């Protein structure tokens, strides 16, 4: 099989971010920080760290895949109508998807406790609404330090055009990493009545604007009203707002079609989950088969990152993807440069074949061999 290298992608080195307590069974991968929170700095004094955050625990009756989407069903809330729906969308990182599905398969009975970030949506044509949860951890029992529907929210208390009531705006922390650079803010619907402070409201006609306050508090999620109810402050409101990444602005011509774009963005966020749901797990006689292929085009590699994502496309359209240690690949490239003629061999275990035919290898390695010129017939 003749194969040709079409791309060599470098893996970006990112700052590790830990967002979960140690007792959780599964935590969010440390190579990617969520858009609405960052790691909690360690402190030795009495003063608490100040940063943006939105995280809490919910109890789910069921979590199922419906039309390739995760659907979270919450217990019927007190005071809710009999026919009221307590269903929300769920999102999980691709690296966590298989582990999460195995957990659901093993625990079909009883409640499931999920550590989550709330996800909301709004546009000029649509009011602010809570749409679902980004799942970062799961377990069968409730940790003693947690309470169901209790959230820690830290953000700016203010009004936004798409909400009649003030919200908590959670900006992307300045220390958080986002390879895309598309920093966005999360606006969370809350109910908080207090006499000592007032939410910020922008007045375009005023020469001086009101004060913006950074709120740090415990909130209870109300599934009947789909908002967060203020319980108590973790610290006094302050005008000192933590440094954050400036949210990217969406042009007006794009926001005019926001409903359609939102639908597309949801589909895009599901692609990683959908692909893993549909991909075929390959097993032969209970063992994972191995694949060995040859290629003869030198890849271009970078000095950044510990691994390199290698993608090889054959003349017949077959695509093979593998993750190679950068040091190993660098040594093999040096061999290629030292030989006048060579052939490279990529081998690894086939872990999956995606619906589009892409073959994914695991534990792959590369070896380069010199091709000796054939002696001319005398």
251 and 325 in one domain?
Answer: no
Same domain, residue pair 305 and 357: yes
Q: Give every CB contact of residue 130 below 8 A, 6+ residues apart in sequence.
A: 88, 118, 119, 120, 188, 189, 226, 227
Residues 65 and 139 in one domain: yes
Domain shared by 209 and 344, yes or no: no
Q: What are 159-202's pLDDT values in tens digits?
A: 998 888 999 999 988 887 776 777 889 999 999 999 999 999 98
Give the structural domain span for 321: 2-9+280-370
Examine the domain organization and report whether 265 and 285 are in the same domain: no
How many domains is the chain built from? 2
User: What is the pLDDT at residue 15?
Assistant: 45
For 274-284, write each residue's pLDDT tens digit: 333 333 444 55
For residues 163 and 253, state if they share a domain.
Answer: yes
- Residue 323 falls inside a structural domain: yes
Give domain status of residue 322, yes or no: yes
Question: Are the CB atoms for 120 and 187 separated by under 8 Å?
Answer: yes
Of 369, 351, 364, 275, the C-alpha closest to 312 is: 364
Is 20 part of a structural domain of the chain?
Answer: no
Residues 241 and 260 both lie in one domain: yes
Whether residue 114 is predicted with pLDDT greater than 70 in this model: the reply is: yes
Q: What is the pLDDT of residue 257?
A: 41
Q: Looking at the predicted structure, is the pLDDT value of residue 249 above 50?
A: yes
The DSSP-derived string for 237-278 is: EES-PPPBPPPPPPPHHHHTTHHHHHHHHHHHHHHHHHHHHH
Position 53 pLDDT exceeds 90: yes
The residue among 214, 246, 274 that closes a domain is: 274
Note whether 101 and 186 are same-domain residues: yes
Residue 107 within a domain: yes
131 domain-assigned: yes
Is position 352 within any domain? yes
Angle at 171 between CA 165 and CA 176, to 5 degrees: 160
- Pair 239, 356 in one domain: no
226 and 104: one domain? yes
Which of the listed residues 274, 297, 323 is the one where a domain comes to its end?
Answer: 274
| Separation of alpha carbons 147 and 27, rounded Å | 18
CATH number at residue 290: 2.40.50
- Select from 251, 274, 297 the last residue of a domain: 274
pTM (predicted TM-score) = 0.56
Residue 275: the pLDDT is 37
349-371: per-residue pLDDT in tens?
Answer: 887 776 556 788 888 888 888 88
Distance CA 72, CA 85 (A): 11
pLDDT of residue 109: 87
Q: What is the pLDDT of residues 24-41, one digit of tens each?
A: 334 443 333 344 444 344
Q: Which of 334, 341, 336 is nearest to 371 (CA)?
A: 341
Is position 111 within any domain? yes
Q: What is the mean pLDDT of residues 317-344?
A: 84
Domain check: are 270 and 301 in the same one?
A: no
Q: What is the mean pLDDT of residues 218-234?
A: 94
β-bridge partners, 368? 344
- Helix axis angle for 258-278 and 94-106, nearest 10°, is 60
CB neighbourhood size of 209 (10 A)? 11
Residues 88 and 200 in one domain: yes
* In a domain? residue 189: yes
């Amino acid at each position: 099989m003749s194969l040709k290298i079409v791309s060599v992608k470098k893996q970006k080195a990112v700052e590790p971010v830990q967002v979960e307590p140690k007792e959780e069974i599964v935590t969010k991968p440390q190579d990617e920080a969520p858009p609405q929170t960052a790691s909690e700095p360690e402190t030795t004094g009495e003063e608490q760290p100040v940063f943006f955050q939105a995280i809490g625990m919910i109890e789910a009756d069921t979590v199922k895949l419906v039309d390739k989407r995760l659907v979270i069903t919450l217990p019927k809330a007190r005071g809710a109508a009999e026919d009221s729906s307590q269903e929300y969308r769920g999102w999980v990182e691709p690296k966590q998807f298989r582990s999460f599905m195995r957990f659901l398969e093993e625990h079909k009975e009883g409640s499931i406790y999920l550590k989550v970030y709330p996800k909301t949506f709004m546009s000029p044509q649509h009011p602010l609404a809570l749409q679902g949860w980004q799942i970062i951890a799961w377990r069968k029992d409730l940790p003693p330090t947690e309470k169901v529907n209790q959230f820690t929210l830290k953000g700016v208390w203010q009004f936004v055009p798409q909400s009649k009531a003030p919200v908590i705006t959670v900006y992307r922390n300045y220390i958080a990493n986002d390879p895309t650079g598309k920093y966005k803010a999360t606006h969370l619907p809350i109910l908080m009545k207090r006499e000592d402070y007032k939410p910020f409201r922008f007045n375009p006609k005023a020469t001086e604007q009101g004060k913006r306050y950074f709120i740090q508090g415990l909130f209870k999620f109300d599934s009947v009203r789909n908002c967060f109810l203020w319980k108590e402050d973790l610290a006094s409101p302050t005008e000192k707002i933590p440094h954050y990444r400036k949210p990217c602005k969406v042009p007006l011509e794009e926001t005019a079609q926001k409903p359609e774009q939102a639908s597309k963005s949801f589909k895009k966020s599901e692609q990683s989950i959908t692909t893993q749901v549909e991909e075929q797990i390959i097993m032969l006689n209970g063992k994972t088969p191995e694949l060995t292929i040859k290629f003869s085009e030198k890849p271009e590699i970078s000095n950044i990152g510990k691994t390199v994502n290698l993608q090889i496309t054959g003349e017949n359209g077959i695509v093979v993807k593998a993750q190679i240690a950068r040091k190993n690949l660098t040594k093999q490239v040096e061999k290629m440069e030292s030989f006048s003629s060579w052939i490279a061999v990529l081998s690894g275990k086939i872990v999956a074949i995606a619906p589009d035919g892409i073959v994914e290898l695991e534990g792959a390695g590369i070896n380069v061999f010199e091709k000796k010129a054939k002696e001319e017939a005398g």
